[in-house]
Amino acid sequence: MKKIAVIPGDGIGKEVMSACLKVLEAFDFPFEYVFAEAGDETKEKTGEALPDETLQICKESSAVLFGAAGETAADVIVRLRLELETFANLRPAKSYKGVKCLFDNVDIVVVRENTECLYKGLEFEVKKGVTEGIRIITEKASERIARYAFELARRDGRKRVTALHKANVMKKTCGLFRDVCRRVARDYDDIEFSDYYIDAGCMYLVLDPWRFDVIVTTNMFGDIVSDLIAGLVGGLGLAPSANIGEKYAIFEPVHGSAPDIAGKGIANPSAMILSSTLMLRHFGYISEAERIEKALEKTIAEGKTTPDLGGNLKTDEMVEEIIKNIEE
């Protein structure tokens, strides 16, 4: 029996989490769901966005399913990533039939280093009107994320890994990252490797996204690029993510708490459901993950979706259609 920490969080996090669990409960997984609180509402109630009790539940679990956090996102999900040492952030983006998007047949995974770079938060005020931020890039973390990207490509039958960096300007930090990626690539002669400057890579993503398969990059660049590729395929409503470490894993949709539609029952559950299929794949339930993904894909193609995807269904109604397609 695997213990899964479930943190619905704020806003539509509660709605999409409920939808996701209904889909998972259509199967007989040996999971024990343990609910925990975190986010804006929790901070208002307890004074802490991520209470110690919640953190302890996460550390006692095999994985964390996380919904959304509002203004306290940095205090919750960023801290969770650090506390659970989840070094790899996976952000897949895939175009689905029936979704209005810029390109068809796009299927890209961003592998984002999750522990260092500018996101370590080492910022200081030097003097009034002058601030500085320290960017940390290490050989150890760069090699770990590069090797993870190549292993993912090999495991999932993908053909190419592309590193994105800015080594022509940040010669030391990005130079180290680029050089480590090139060195690791030599151990994977079955996988094609290339690297681009981040600005050129973003241009190519917009002009020719099919040249990319797996992208590996640093923390801040990965954050930006993963939202860019989500925009290519229809937006954050279809963008799942996984945070993977040696011991722990966190699975969450990329979208936020969306307070403007929270409580209306029209939140798109797709990203949360796809995040759960990443969890299933992490645990080795490949065929079950594929059944859910195909059922979701069919539901979207039939137009039985929430308003953001062009349909007129409520969240629960879309989930019913997904479960119906799973059973069929």
The catalytic residue among 14, 94, 166, 298 is: 166
**How far is C-alpha 273 from the chain's CA centre?**
12
Examine the residue annotation and report whether 148 is marked as an active-site residue of this protein: no
Tokens of 220: 């801040």
The torsion angles phi and psi of 133, rounded to 5 degrees, stand at: -130, 140
Examine the residue annotation and report whether 188 is marked as an active-site residue of this protein: no
The catalytic residue among 227, 285, 314, 324 is: 227
Looking at the DSSP bridge assignments, the partners of residue 249 are 244
Examine the residue annotation and report whether 227 is marked as an active-site residue of this protein: yes
The catalytic residue among 104, 156, 187, 199 is: 199
Tokens of 21: 């669990």
* 7-9-12 Cα angle (round to 5): 120
Examine the residue annotation and report whether 199 is marked as an active-site residue of this protein: yes
> For the CA atoms of the chain, what is the radius of gyration?
20
Examine the residue annotation and report whether 104 is marked as an active-site residue of this protein: no
The catalytic residue among 119, 148, 196, 248 is: 119
Active-site residues, by number, are 119, 166, 199, 223, 227
